Amino acid sequence: MEYFRITKDDLDGLKALQIGYKREIGEEPPTEENFESLSEAIQKGKIFFYGCADAGRLVACCSVTPTYSTFQYQTGGVFEDFYIVPEYRHKGIARQLVRFAYRESGVSSLTVGCADCDIQMYQSLGFSVPLGNLLAFEGQTEF
C-alpha cells in the first residue's frame, strides 16, 4: 500500500471514490461542475486530499481543509471525505491514512463532523476530544 497526497493528476481516481462515497451515503453523485470546482480548490491549496493506492489503484481517500483553530490557537484542519473501497476495509488502511493525513497536512489538530453511527469508528481512529455538535449553515434559510 502506498500513501500519498492526491494532486490534480490523480483526479480520475478521486472522482471514482467520491462517486462511491456519495452513493454509499445516499446522496447524488458530484457533477462535472462540482469536480471542476474541487480540482481548482486542490490546485489552490484550499483543500488537501490524501490517498492510499494498491498497485496504482486509488482505494481510499480523505481530505483536510486547513483553518485557524482556537482549540489550540494554531492551524487546525477539518477532516472529511473519508472513504475506503469496501473490499479494502478492515485492513488497517483507515488508521494509517488518518495518521498520514495528519502528519502531511502540518495541522496541530483535526476535527471531524460525523453521523452518530460513525462516532465509535472515529474514536477508534484517535478522534477522542468531544467539541460539542457540528452544524452547517448554507445561507439559504429565510430569516
- Cell numbers at 37, concatenated: 470546482
Predicted TM-score (pTM) of the model is 0.91
Rounded CA-CA distance 116/101 in Å is 23
* Cross-strand pairs, 116: none
Model pLDDT for residues 81-119, shown as the tens digit of each residue = 999 999 999 999 999 999 999 999 999 999 999 888 899
Whether 77 and 66 have beta carbons less than 8 Å apart is answered as yes
| Cell matching residue 101 | 493525513
Residues paired with 67 in a beta bridge: 76
CB-count burial class (<10 Å; 0-12, 13-18, 19+) for 44: exposed
Q: What's the pLDDT tens digit per position in 39-73? A: 999 999 999 999 999 999 999 999 999 999 888 89
What the block records as the C-alpha cell of 142 is 429565510
Closest CA relative to residue 82, chosen from 128, 25, 28, 40: 25
Is 110 within 8 Å of 77 (Cβ atoms)? yes
**Residue 47: which residues within 8 A CB-CB, separation 6 or more?**
38, 41, 63, 64, 65
In the chain, the domains with their CATH numbers are 2-124 (3.40.630.30)
In this predicted model, what pLDDT tens digit does every residue of 123-133 receive, in sequence order?
999 999 988 87
Cβ atoms of residues 53 and 1 within 8 Å: yes
